[in-house]
Chain A
Amino acid sequence: MPIGDLDVPIIGKNTVIAVLVQAHVLFAAFIIGAVIIAATSEYLGLVTKQPRYERFARNLARFIVLLFASGAALAITFVLALVTLFPVFFSYLQNIFFWVFLVEAFMFLGQIIIVYAWYNVWDKLAYRKSLHVVFGFVAGFFGLMAMTMINAVASFMLTPAEAPVNDVARTFLNQTNVPLNMHRFVGNFSYAGFLIAGWGAWRYLRSTREDDREYYDWMGHFGLIWGFGFLILQPVIGYGYLKGIRESAPEAFNVIMLGDKSWLFLLLMFWIALMTVASTAYFVHKLRFAVKPMPMMRKMTIGALGFTVLFTVLNIIPSNASLVPQIGLVFAGGEDTQIPLGSMYPWKYIGLIGLMIVGFFVIALYLKATASGFHFGRSSRWSQYALISSAVIVVLTMITMGYTRETARRVDNDPGWLIYNCITMDQELVTDLCLAEGLEGGEGGE
Chain B
Amino acid sequence: MMELALLLQAGDTGDPTSIGLFRFFLGFFLIVLIFSSFLFFTYWISKDE
Contacts and interface: CB of A to CB of B under 8 A. Distances in A.
A63 B35 contact: no
Interface string B15-27: 1100101010011
Nearest to A71: B38
Contacts of B15: 325-326
Interface residues of A, number: 36
Given A26-B31, A70-B38, A258 B46 contact: no
Contacts of B21: 326-327
Interface in B1-44: 2, 5-6, 8-16, 19, 21, 23, 26-28, 30-32, 34-35, 38-39, 41-42
A261 interface: yes
A259 interface: yes
Contacts of B42: 63, 66-67, 70
A405 interface: no
B49 A335 contact: no
A298 B34 CA distance: 41
Interface string A233-254: 0000000000000000001001
B39 to A, nearest CB: 8
A67 B21 CA distance: 32
Nearest to B45: A66
Interface string A53-71: 0000000001100110010
Interface string A86-123: 00000000000000000000000000000000000000
A255 B14 CA distance: 10
Nearest to A73: B38
Interface residues of B, number: 30
Contacts of A254: 5, 8-9
Interface string A1-27: 000000000011011001100110011
Given A62-B49, A67-B42, A338-B2, A23 B34 contact: yes
Interface in A303-346: 322, 325-327, 335, 338
A251 B27 CA distance: 25
A327 B9 CA distance: 17
Interface of B: 2, 5-6, 8-16, 19, 21, 23, 26-28, 30-32, 34-35, 38-39, 41-42, 45-46, 49
19 contacts: A11-B27, A19-B30, A23-B35, A23-B38, A26-B35, A66-B45, A67-B39, A325-B12, A326-B13, A326-B14, A326-B15, A326-B16, A327-B21, A395-B32, A399-B31, A412-B10, A412-B11, A413-B11, A413-B13
Given A19-B34, A258-B5, A411-B11, 10 more contacts: A11-B23, A15-B30, A18-B31, A23-B34, A23-B35, A27-B35, A27-B38, A70-B41, A399-B28, A412-B12
Interface of A: 11-12, 14-15, 18-19, 22-23, 26-27, 62-63, 66-67, 70, 74, 251, 254-255, 258-261, 322, 325-327, 335, 338, 395, 399, 410-414
